[in-house]
Structure 1
């Protein structure tokens, strides 16, 4: 005699399998997007000497940063760097030439603002507050750049700049710049095979018990 498995039990087993599959996948995407792309421009906020521009961002979980970028133009090379902040609304410590760095990269600019520029940067950050900063005059970067201000700010925008004379950081006055951080959160731990077998067995036992009770009720 063929035993029929109740539909509810089948769905429970399928859901258990899908949960295990999803648990092993990392989630990648934009960690920071200060503005959505607007009308391409040929000018913007300057990046030179002591004048750098950056934005704060917050992480709720450990994240592997893979790239940084933005709607940047200019000539020569710029640096992009990530620094830790003491609070969500804090500014970097030090000046544009002395702030502590967790990771940095140098990349070459172009004058094409119709597309974003991305540069590889690999660092794993724990939960907390950070800032992405672009500038020149450090790490061998010696170019002159600019950030287009014709983009549309998002709620993530928390932009600041350094004074072009002292290099000290200040808030306010910078809008419409598009700064980007790309990263992925580590995959959720996949249950051990023995645990999956135990869970599946438990589901089947409960389903079988419920099915037998239903059969008994139907024949009584």
Structure 2
């Protein structure tokens, strides 16, 4: 009976721990709300909507801070490209030292670049996504989009018709000028899951299980 009770206790603890550690994908960071999409490259050319270049000589990004461990799953944003053009561009997550730091290299070749992937500019404009799974600890990071690296050679733009959320800190790179601050209005997003900490309830169950096992061993 005692052995069966312990087995039941272990099973209950594992079920509770599994439920507690279940993680649902959520938006970990978004620089701005999604503005009107479906905008054409001609709309950009005619200045019906504002946009900034995303090319092999002009990268666009934003700093963001994490206050707890996460696992990223996707990155993306609101972009547009000329019709019938090469549409491939890159996304990268870069580790920063602090809230005013920039990536360590112009060509994103240094170890602070934690992960990259490719995505495609849409036409007309819309949100596009790239899978990018990284385990990130609390700290400062940058999400950067560009071309000319990591197999990307497309040309397009990041739409600037969004309202910023919590004063996003946009950065970017321009060939010949390096890294610096950039204009607002762009929507860049990171999706993922928050890594949960063990709850006190599960810890209490585990402690009780240990004590029960200890008492049983002393009786043998």
**Which residue of 2 is the match for residue 63 of structure 1?**
70
**Which residue of 2 is the match for residue 144 of structure 1?**
155
1:148-189 residue CA offsets vs partner (Å, 9 max, x unmatched): 0011111151111112x32610114x1110000111112333
* Structure 2 gap segments, 5+ residues each: 1-15, 45-50, 210-220
1:124 Cα deviation from its structure 2 partner: 0.7
Q: Is the 8 A contact 2:121 2:156 kept in 1?
A: yes
1:21 Cα deviation from its structure 2 partner: 7.9
Give the counterpart of 1:180 among 178, 189, 206: 189
**Which residue of 2 is the match for residue 170 of structure 1?**
180
Length-normalised TM-score, structure 1: 0.72
**Which residue of 2 is the match for residue 25 of structure 1?**
22
Structure 2: how far apart are the matches of 1:95 and 1:177? 21
Length-normalised TM-score, structure 2: 0.72
**Which residue of 1 is the match for residue 6 of structure 2?**
none
The two structures, once aligned, show a CA RMSD in angstroms of 2.8
Q: Is the 8 A contact 1:80 1:105 kept in 2?
A: yes
Residues 83 and 63 of structure 1: is their aligned pair in 2 closer, same or farther, counting only changes over 3 Å? same
Q: Is the 8 A contact 2:66 2:137 kept in 1?
A: yes
**Which residue of 2 is the match for residue 117 of structure 1?**
128
Q: Is the 8 A contact 2:119 2:128 kept in 1?
A: no
Residues 144 and 77 of structure 1: is their aligned pair in 2 closer, same or farther, counting only changes over 3 Å? same
Give the counterpart of 1:104 among 116, 131, 137: 116
* Structure 1 gap segments, 5+ residues each: 1-18, 199-220
Tell me how many residue pairs correspond in the alignment. Answer: 181
Q: Is the 8 A contact 1:95 1:166 kept in 2?
A: no
Larger Rg: 1
1:152 counterpart SS class: coil
Q: Is the 8 A contact 2:120 2:128 kept in 1?
A: no
**Which residue of 2 is the match for residue 189 of structure 1?**
198
1:108 Cα deviation from its structure 2 partner: 2.0
1:69 Cα deviation from its structure 2 partner: 0.3
Q: Is the 8 A contact 1:62 1:125 kept in 2?
A: yes
